[in-house]
Amino acid sequence: MSTRSMQCGFLSRSYMLVFAAVFLVSGCARNANKQVQQKGPEVKVATIETERVILTSELPGRTAASRVSEIRPQVSGLIIKRAFEEGSFVHEGDLLYQIDPVHYKAAYDQAKAAVSMAEANLPAVRSRVDRYKELVASHAIGQQEYDDALAALRQAEAQLEVSKAALEIAEIKLSYTPIKAPISGRIGRSNVTEGSMVVEYQQMPLATIQQLDPIYVDVTQSTAEMLKLQGRMKEGTFKVDSDGQSKVKIIKEDGSVYPIEGMLEFRDVSVSPTTGSVILRIVVPNPDSMLLPGMFVRAILIEGYIDKGILLTQTAVSRDQKGQPYVWLVDADGKAEMRIVTVDRAIGDKWLVSSGLSSGDRVIIEGIQRVRNGVPVVIAAPEAAKAQ
């Protein structure tokens, strides 16, 4: 046999061996893919457990002083003294301004003198009536004279009462010349200085005092949310804790939590026609004046709690073309099952599921993209990873 023939035979056998190896590898790959397809996709699940869920609402609002007093003069006159520092804390009864009291002191003295004059004249007139009463009984004088004396007595008594009333008015006006703080709080800037002329009950206030401890936080709640809350209470979906419901947590503008909790005082009885919302007032202790009037804050109110609530991580919930939320479950046969659920609200990174799931359901939380309805799946992780 020639050398060329031997080479050709050797090459033929080599090609056959290569083809056989390729066929063997292809067959193994097909068998492996077939085994994977029969085995099903690998997923991670979480077993649903019910728990007590506290429902809260985060509402925007603004702070407001609990008491505001605009200082206005009650008598006209010239300001001769300002007795406070702008921006300082003043106590109830502290002197703020002094109006020149000279004219009011003179009027008081005059009224006091008029009272003294009326009191001095009254005994003589009363004695005359007593004497005329005896004389008219013995017919020593006529009845007309007695009647005139009695009328004079009554006029003198009335004049005394008029003088006393005038004295009281003069005394009140004199007491208004020192303008004092009606409430305790922080006083703002002064709109007048010494030497300014003020008029009683003028439109422009001299200064404004605001009480900041406690401070009010007024937040708005939509009537839709309020009605929804009332409906849940009627249905018995969740219970209301009277102790916890009134406590409110305050979030400041910078996102930090105010260290002292407030208390819900009342809900307004009227609805705003423009916004369709009601006002909720919260009373917050403010001993260090950290909260100032007009600040924007957020209030977290406790609405109530659900005894057997279901919380599910948001990544496990998908939505169909109609926007309905659904989840994938692993049924008792180890097959994937799609189920429509109803979600109430987001709590942190979880959904509160109100219907569609029950305790013990195994929800697929990873590998959702590879599952199909009715297709067997393989649970990769133990069920110790709970939904909560």
| Domain chopping of the chain, boundaries | 42-52+308-379, 56-65+213-307, 73-99+178-204, 102-175
Output the six-digit token pair for 376. Answer: 């067997």
Asked, colleague to colleague, whether 42-52+308-379 and 56-65+213-307 share their fold, the answer is: no
Question: What is d(CA 165, CA 297) in angstroms, rounded to the nearest whole number?
Answer: 53
* Domain 42-52+308-379 bears CATH identifier 2.40.420.20: yes
Region 102-175: CATH code: 1.10.287.470
Per DSSP, the chain holds a count of helices (H) and strands (E) of 5, 20
Per-residue pLDDT tens digits for 139-158: 777 788 888 888 988 998 89
Three-state DSSP class for residue 14: helix
Question: Taking CA 168 as the corner, what is the angle to CA 163 and CA 174, rounded to the nearest 5 degrees?
Answer: 125
Stated pTM of the model: 0.66
- Residue 6, pLDDT > 90, answer no
- Residue 165, pLDDT > 80, answer yes
Per-residue pLDDT tens digits for 226-267: 777 666 666 655 556 555 457 889 999 888 999 999 988 877
Higher pLDDT, 120 or 8: 120
User: Using 50, 70 and 90 to split pLDDT, how confident is the model at 63?
Assistant: very high
- Its CATH class, for the domain covering 56-65+213-307, is mainly beta
- Residue 85, pLDDT > 90, answer yes
Per-residue pLDDT tens digits for 171-214: 999 999 999 999 999 999 999 999 999 999 999 999 999 999 99
Question: What is d(CA 286, CA 188) in angstroms, rounded to the nearest whole number?
Answer: 18
Closest CA to 339 of 314, 358, 311, 315: 358
Region 73-99+178-204: CATH code: 2.40.50.100
Percent of the chain at pLDDT > 90 equals 37
Output the six-digit token pair for 362. Answer: 């195994």
